[in-house]
Amino acid sequence: MGHPAVSGQGAVRQGASRAYDAVVFDLDGVICHTDVYHYRSWKSVADELRIPFDETVNNRLRGVSRMESLDIVLERYVGEPLSHERKSELAATKNDRYRVMLGDMTPADLDPAVRTTLDELRSRGLKLAIGSSSRNAAFILERLGLGDYFDAVADGNHISRSKPDPEVFLLAAEYLGVDPSRCVVVEDAEAGIEAGSAAGMYTVAIGDAAEKGVGDAQLRTIAELTDVMARLES
């Protein structure tokens, strides 16, 4: 059964008991702007290999694991086939550069609107989780001062299939002890919206995914999420 659309008179169930118990957030590009650091670090690796790399390619990397991202970056590589060792080396170089950028982040890099939105949702009794393909998720959350904020964190270290596979979102729901159909997922990646739908969750798009018009609802800013949740609950 599908989820109610958030817009349109009468599209949301009226007077029903709580429809959703939890919100599962993607991390990169939703909670923080690390998507820009992903872009810069991949771009530096691509430039050294003389591979064209731009925002269009970068958007395809959203939600996708590190090694799968490398395969996408290498689609436009011209030269001798690269060995498995060389590919691992390139992914490690990208990650080292990315981690240097992450290391410079502080709690001041957390958008106050993100913090306010999370606190507001929590005060309404919703459980909050992270569902991210990143293996750096714990480090990022710690840098932002959110190390012990979420009720559950499912990330790239816990899964074998990255988005669009629903594994990470299903795991987040399991960690929370909430049925997937009672979870809302917030995503900036098309692959992430696909993963959320495949998990049976209500999907809310922001950033690149919202611009593409995918998802059950689209946000211009994270602050709009409280309105979307209120409308789903009313």
Shortest approach of ligand BG6 to residue 81 CB, angstroms?
22
Sign of CA dihedral 50, 76, 67, 198: positive
What residue 38 binds from Mg ion, ligand BG6, none (CB within 5 to 8 A, per partner kind)? ligand BG6
Span of 43-51, 62-70, 143-151, 195-203 interacting with ligand BG6 by CB under 6 A:
62-70
Pick from 38, 60, 127, 143: which binds ligand BG6 (CB under 6 A)?
Answer: 38
Span of 75-83, 127-135, 207-215, 222-230 interacting with ligand BG6 by CB under 6 A:
127-135
Q: What letter represents residue 154's amino acid?
A: A
Active site residue 109: no
- Provide φ and ψ at 145, rounded to 5°: 80, 20
Span of 79-87, 108-116, 129-137, 198-206 interacting with ligand BG6 by CB under 6 A:
129-137
Cis preceding linkage at 164, omega within 30: yes
Shortest approach of ligand BG6 to residue 212 CB, angstroms?
15
Which of 213, 223, 222, 221 has its CA nearest to residue 7? 213
Shortest approach of ligand BG6 to residue 207 CB, angstroms?
11
Cβ-Cβ contacts under 8 Å for 198 (sequence gap 6 or more): 164, 165, 166
CA distance to 66, 71, 172, per residue, from 162 (Å): 10, 14, 13
Question: Residue 47: which H helix or E strand, with range?
Answer: helix 34-48
Catalytic residues: 26, 28
Residues near ligand BG6 (CB under 6 A): 27-28, 38, 61-66, 69, 95, 132-136, 156, 189
